[in-house]
Structure 1
């Protein structure tokens, strides 16, 4: 795996919108956060574009991403928001450009498609964390979530325990492996493509928003039938926001998780504040991690060098 170089004060980060169009007011409000970290910000040339549910055409969004990757002054790319659209450009990304210019790539939600494709095509470690317009620019963006950006400046082993949030064990055990995953619906959408999620021997992180239990059941079943759950060494069930059922009767989310994970051969825990939530515990993807249900702990190796 390729560890990107850590940030230093005075560095420039690039901001692009490879999926949906960002709220411009929240985007501008978020810029002050990076200035306070001692960073300069370069906005993508097409960051103001809108095309329906997309932040401009595929060519415009792809052009911004490639321009930031090729710019040697840009040391990190932090995406403006998720939404929808990254899968549309996955087959046109210049992965050799990314491999030759490894730098920090930070985002989540729809960015899960890019995390998966970039890691599997290049070996670059990327970061699952809050974005400008969808998180940082909000009034309720909290200090704990902000503090997690420090891992980009200093190589840091992350230690998630019940000090942060209550954790529930669905299957006991301990496993070490590469931390992968992200948004459940995006991971399912990679199946059958050249960027299909590889889970063998890895710790699989899952989160989502706005998906009620029957929908989550259907996506977990698709991962099961594709062998992706069977192959994983362990499963980290993170935040599933806005998952209350609207159909009646319905299984609860906990009942769905019990159905799929109570007999899992490796460790499975839920309750991690990773995803569409505050606080948002940011993590590097592609690094080695250890999940222990006895200790109720997730230890994650540093993502930068």
Structure 2
């Protein structure tokens, strides 16, 4: 496990868009949030590029990512938004460069592909948390979501329990291991590739947006048939926004989750406010976590170290 260094006042953070193009007005509206914490912001050279549904060509998005990684003045990379596109550059990323210049990497949604690839190629801990244009600029961005960035300043052990949201136990038990995962559709898209997610002995996080029950069913079935659910040490189900059936008849999301997760031999809990939601509980990926259904808690080790 490779831990990035914590932030300190006056540090420079890099902002890039490795997937879909951000709304530049909303991105600019989010920058004062970081400046209020005493941080300076550097935008990627190609962040305003648009290439269809992508934030520039693969070469342009990759160049911004490599530039921010190699620049030792940049202490953290916070992504502008998700959307689609990180999987297109995963096979040409210089992972040796990341390992030589470890730093905070923060985002979620389509960034899940990068989280999985980076962890499995370098062991670097990365962070699943809200982004600039898609979250911080949203009028619903709340105090709790904002406070989650404090874990980047000081090594902080996190604990999620029912003080944050009601949690539901699908399978009782206690399990521990490295915390992995993120967006379900991105997790399933890694299967059969060089970046296929490793869930063996891991606590698996899954969340998504806009996926109706039959689509969630399909992805969970794929993970089940690939053995990814059965080998996990625990599963936490985050927010599934806009998952209500659009056509009748349909199973409900809870029925789908029960079918695929309810008979596993590891602890499973649902209801975590992690994902496309407010508040958004941000967590480090790759660190050791403990899921305990007895007290309905998820305990997560710190994701940064002090110099």
User: What's the TM-score, normalizing by structure 1?
Assistant: 1.00
Structure 1 distance, partners of 2:45, 2:261, is: 45
> What is the match of residue 94 of structure 2?
94
Structure 2 residue 30 is matched with structure 1 residue 39: no
Structure 2 distance, partners of 1:251, 1:163, is: 30
> What is the match of residue 5 of structure 2?
5
Structure 2 distance, partners of 1:238, 1:117, is: 21
Structure 2 distance, partners of 1:100, 1:266, is: 36
Q: Secondary structure at the match of 2:138?
A: coil
Structure 2 residue 245 is matched with structure 1 residue 254: no
> What is the match of residue 289 of structure 1?
289
Structure 2 distance, partners of 1:166, 1:201, is: 26
> What is the match of residue 220 of structure 1?
220
Larger mean CA deviation between 33-42 and 254-263 belongs to 254-263
Structure 2 distance, partners of 1:157, 1:139, is: 28
Structure 2 distance, partners of 1:212, 1:61, is: 30
> What is the match of residue 138 of structure 1?
138
* Aligned-residue offset at 1:264: 1.0
Q: Secondary structure at the match of 2:229?
A: helix
Structure 2 distance, partners of 1:130, 1:59, is: 25
Structure 2 distance, partners of 1:37, 1:57, is: 32
What stretches of structure 1 of length at least 5 have no aligned partner? Answer: none
The runs of 4+ residues in structure 1 deviating greater than 2 Å are none
* Aligned-residue offset at 1:89: 0.2
Structure 1 distance, partners of 2:261, 2:15, is: 38
Listed as ranges, the matches of 1:68-107 within 5 Å are 68-107=68-107
Structure 1 distance, partners of 2:158, 2:139, is: 26
> What is the match of residue 118 of structure 1?
118
Q: Secondary structure at the match of 2:75?
A: strand
* Aligned-residue offset at 1:139: 1.3
Equivalent residues, number: 305
What stretches of structure 2 of length at least 5 have no aligned partner? Answer: none
Listed as ranges, the matches of 1:200-219 within 5 Å are 200-219=200-219
* Aligned-residue offset at 1:10: 0.3
Q: Could you give the per-residue CA deviations for residues 94-141 of structure 1, whole angstroms, max 9, x where no partner exists?
A: 000000000000000000000000000000000000000000011111
> What is the match of residue 165 of structure 2?
165
* Aligned-residue offset at 1:36: 0.4
Structure 2 distance, partners of 1:105, 1:262, is: 33
* Aligned-residue offset at 1:163: 0.4
Structure 1 distance, partners of 2:38, 2:242, is: 35
> What is the match of residue 280 of structure 1?
280
Q: Secondary structure at the match of 1:105?
A: strand
Structure 1 distance, partners of 2:50, 2:93, is: 20
